Structure 1
């Protein structure tokens, strides 16, 4: 089977925009059950969570507000350059994103005020974008 081109992979993948607002926290203590993402290394714990979970979380630093985009790749692990294409399109507009990857999906977090511009960037490079309610 021939590996599809990056253009084909993008066209056959989907970006789902999740509702709500997210915050990026440097955590002190946490309950795993309510958070979107927790990453821990030897120096710190980082938590990405929805707005309504902030009061239940002990943290030392916060960065607000983000929108969450889920990248559903049509052929995971074969999309060489996929994240580079996304980050380049966004960077070319002078914007920054945070990238989070799990085993089967990639997510990007974008500043709430840049939401519309990022949607345009993703559509411009060929992604179908679905807004989840």
Structure 2
């Protein structure tokens, strides 16, 4: 397993550009809502990543928005050295900033909504199979 070909992992992983707009929120009180995409807590602060529709009922101190969410379903988690680095490098080489969050078998990349097309191009050029989720609002 030490010699995993990163290109094979990329080509066998699935990328989904999720619909919706996301914001980063800084808060001092953890929201009980299970509708948030992410709640991260350390000793100094609580950060919430949530969809636009959840903001009105969420208490927060500071907001940074708007982002699009790119979900990468990693075909072989924990064995592909340089996987996240390859993605962030491809995006940053196009002069874009990216925020990264990982779970056990998925990596999430948040890109400013005005830059999403450029980020999609970067991922396609890396060889990722990519699909775009249709908006839930019709």
SS of the residue corresponding to residue 53 of structure 1 reads: helix
Structure 2 unaligned spans of 5+ = none
**Residues 1-133 of structure 1 mapped to structure 2, 5 A cutoff:** 3-29=3-29, 30-133=31-134
Q: Secondary structure in 2 aligned to 1:113? A: helix
1:31-50 Cα shifts (integer Å, max 9, x gaps): 23110000000000000000
Contact preservation (8 Å) 2:68, 2:116? yes
* Structure 1 outlier segments of 4+, above 6 Å: none
Unaligned runs of 5+ in 1: none
Equivalent pairs, count? 133
Structure-2-length-normalised TM-score: 0.92
* Rounded Cα–Cα distance in structure 2 between residues aligned with 1:108 and 1:4: 23
Counterparts of 1:3 and 1:72, CA distance in 2: 20
Q: Deviations over 1:60-115 (max 9, x none)?
A: 11101000011111111111101000010011111110000112211000000000
User: Take 2:28 and 2:43, find their aligned partners in 1: how far apart are those partners?
Assistant: 13
Could you say what secondary structure the match of 1:42 adopts?
coil
Q: Which segment is superposed worse, 51-60 or 20-29?
A: 20-29
Q: Is the 8 A contact 1:27 1:57 kept in 2?
A: no
Q: Give the aligned CA root-mean-square deviation in angstroms.
A: 1.2
| Rounded Cα–Cα distance in structure 1 between residues aligned with 2:20 and 2:99 | 17
